Amino acid sequence: MHDGWKTIIEPFKIKTVEPLGFTTRPEREKALRDADYNLFAVPADKVLIDLLTDSGTSAMSAEQWAAMMRGDESYAGARSFYVLEKAVRDLTGLKNVMPVHQGRAAERVLFSVVGGPGRIVLSNSHFDTTRANVEASGAEAIDLPVPEALDFAAPGDFKGDIDLAALEAKLRGPDGRRVTMIVMTLTNNSLGGQPVSMGNLRATAEIAKHYKIPLFLDIARFAENAWFIKRREAGYATRPVREIVREMFSYADGCWMSSKKDAFVNIGGFLALNDEEWTAKAREILILGEGFTTYGGLAGRDLEALAVGLREVLDEHYLEYRIRSIEYLGDGLRKAGVPIVEPPGGHAVYLDAARLLPHIPPSGYPAQALACELYLTAGIRSVEIGSLMFGVRENGGFKPARMELVRLAIPRRVYTQSHVDFLIEVVADVAKRAKSIRPLRLLSASPRLAHFTAKLAPEAVA
The catalytic position among 128, 143, 163, 262 is 128
- The values of phi and psi at residue 20, to 5°, are -85, 160
In the residue annotation, 218 being an active-site residue is answered as yes
Residue 330 found at the interface with ligand F0G (CB under 6 A) = no
Q: Which of 46, 126, 261, 347 is catalytic?
A: 261
Q: Is 14 exposed, middle or buried (0-12, 13-18, 19+ CB in 10 A)?
A: exposed
The reply on whether position 218 binds ligand F0G by CB under 6 A is: yes
Residue 222 touches ligand F0G, criterion: CB under 6 A: no
Task: Return the residue of 23, 53, 61, 387 that touches ligand F0G, per CB under 6 A.
Answer: 53
Residue whose CB is less far from ligand F0G, 269 or 364: 269
Q: Is it true that the peptide bond before 362 is cis, omega within 30 degrees of 0?
A: no
Q: Mention every residue, 6+ apart, whose C-beta is less than 8 A from residue 68.
A: 301, 302, 304, 305
Catalytic residue among 72, 161, 218, 262: 218
**Identity of the residue numbered 65:** W
Q: Could you say whether residue 197 binds ligand F0G (CB under 6 A)?
A: no
> What residues between 265 and 294 interact with ligand F0G by CB under 6 A?
269
Determine which one of 220, 299, 409, 445 is catalytic: 220
Alpha carbon 364 to chain centroid, angstroms: 25
Buried b / exposed e over 112-145, threshold 16 CB at 10 Å, is: bbbbeeebbbbbbbbbbbbbbbbbebebbbbbbb
**Does the active-site annotation cover 205?**
no
CB of 115 to ligand F0G, least distance (A): 15
Nearer to ligand F0G, 184 or 440 (CB): 184
CA 213 centroid distance within chain: 24
Using CB under 6 A as the binding rule, whether residue 127 contacts ligand F0G is answered as: yes
Q: If binding is defined by CB under 6 A, does position 124 make contact with ligand F0G? A: no
Q: Is 261 a catalytic residue?
A: yes
3-state secondary structure (DSSP) of residue 74: coil
Stretch that binds ligand F0G, among 43-51, 101-109, 171-179, 373-381 (CB under 6 A): 101-109
State which amino acid sits at residue 77: G
Q: Which stretch binds ligand F0G (CB under 6 A): 83-91, 125-133, 142-150, 275-283?
A: 125-133
Is the previous residue joined to 377 through a cis bond, with omega within 30 degrees of 0? no
Binding site for ligand F0G (CB under 6 A): 53, 55, 102-104, 127, 129-130, 185, 189, 218, 220, 258, 260, 269
